[in-house]
Amino acid sequence: MTKKPLYLTLLTSLTLLSPTFAQLAKWQSGLVVDEFVVDKPPFPESHAATIAETPKGLVSAWFGGTKERNPDVCIWVSRQENGKWSAPQNVANGIINDTLRYACWNPVLYQIPKGELMLFYKIGPSPAKWKGWLKTSSDGGRTWSAAKALPEGYIGPVKNKPVLLANGNLICPSSTEGDGWKLHFELTPDFGKTWRKVGPLNDGRSLNAIQPSVLTYGNGKLQILARSRDRAIEESWSTDNGETWSPLTKTTLPNNNSGTDAVTLKDGRQVLVYNHVLPPGELAKGPRTPLNLAVSNDGKNWLAAVILEDSPISQYSYPSVIQTSDGLIHVIYTWRREKIKHAVIDPKKLKLEPINEGVWPALAGYSAPVAKEITKD
């Protein structure tokens, strides 16, 4: 008797979701690679991936272990060689001393132009109490330096990649969660030797946002897009290379209280990867499926481009996006908390449709069922 309601629920969910399945192929124009970084990871959970292009090829990193927050969670790295990803290499752990060990969190890769590969990551019992660390590699991620603690109060880029500004500053988009969700920036003019802060931008009360991405428009004009608890992706603008910022406001795009990432393409267009999900009712949190890619010329008006992934099983989340030297877009993201997925998109092959009033065009008039959700951040 207990199986019948479960069966009917699943059948109803699949029936309701069938329009999405039918539309998925339509929304994958330009998708040229769709693969796992590691088919069978040596640990049950993988999350919070990052990707960078080095002179020796692509490098990815993520945190993995038995479960987020557990002390055995480490930072793992995989390198792409001859089109194939290497077995994951454990490059950082949270061992403090013989009796104390914490989890590792949120790695972020950044390739210094004509320099070393930087790996930022955090160690601590929670996002409110973690500390920032840095390792570097001079051989494209094969070997790594000893861990170096960032200055007290600095964590580096919290989730998304730094951006090198025209004035020579490396701007690291960051945030804190201890006293409300607040956005700030950590700037370094010498790739990690010295640091200073800008912000916080918000008080963590009227609007709550973390994990920003930085987009560039030339002549010192910048935009950030950030995850929020406010049912929308939030934004702020700067006209002086990030020294001052406009008040934080909601965009027209929904947010399900999950991480996003964005990148400025060489042609000046902006690309955003996120879950286009408006949580049900007044809830702040929603399912982490589908995972979408949108394009904009001005950071305000967005065009639907790709649905990277969708199914009744969540989650597809925490993307990292870059454009490589060949012009292709690379996205790396969490696949059901079990593995890390890598997608490659050819921006010349995208079919774009306007997103009007925050509604993804393929889903207009369609209410997706609530997917199975994993609730960790």
pLDDT in tens, 115-167: 999 999 999 999 999 999 999 999 999 999 999 999 999 999 999 999 999 99
- Distance of alpha carbon 33 from alpha carbon 345, whole angstroms: 7
pLDDT the model gives residue 60: 98
| Residue 136: predicted pLDDT | 98
CA–CA separation, 198 and 182 (whole Å): 12
Tell me what pLDDT residue 23 has: 65
* Residue listed under structure tokens 């996205």: 331
pLDDT value, residue 275: 98
Nearest to 276 by CA among 37, 36, 27, 14: 27
pLDDT at 26: 84
Whether 13 maps to a domain, the answer reads no
Residue 3 resides in a domain: no
Q: Give the three-state DSSP class for 256.
A: coil
Q: Residue 68 burial by CB count (10 A; 0-12/13-18/19+): exposed, middle or buried?
A: middle
Instruction: Determine contact, residues 158/173, Cβ cutoff 8 Å.
Output: yes
DSSP for 76-143, written as a single string: EEEEEETTEEPPPEEEE--B-SSS-B-EEEEEEEEE-TTSPEEEEEEEESSTTT-EEEEEEESSTTSS
5 lies in some domain: no
Q: What integer pLDDT is reported at residue 201 of this predicted model?
A: 97
Range of the domain at 39: 26-354
Q: What pLDDT score was predicted for residue 314?
A: 86
Spatial neighbors of 96 by CB under 8 A, at least 6 apart, are: 102, 123
- Inside any domain, residue 377: no
* Torsion of Cα atoms, 204 then 207 then 210 then 214, to 10°: -120
Classify 60 as helix, strand or coil.
strand
Indicate which CATH number applies to the domain containing 254: 2.120.10.10
Domain total of the chain: 1
Query: Is 119 inside any structural domain?
Result: yes
Helix (H, G, I), strand (E, B) or coil at 294: strand
**pLDDT at position 229, please?**
97
9 lies in some domain: no
Identify whether 366 is part of a domain.
Answer: no
Return phi, psi of residue 338, to 5°: -95, -40
User: What parts of the chain have a pLDDT lower than 50?
Assistant: 1-19, 365-370, 375
> For residues 49 and 60, is the Cβ–Cβ distance under 8 A?
yes
Calpha distance 239→47 (Å, rounded): 34
Are residues 341 and 37 in contact, defined by beta-carbon separation less than 8 angstroms? yes
State the pLDDT at residue 7. Answer: 30
360 is a domain residue: no
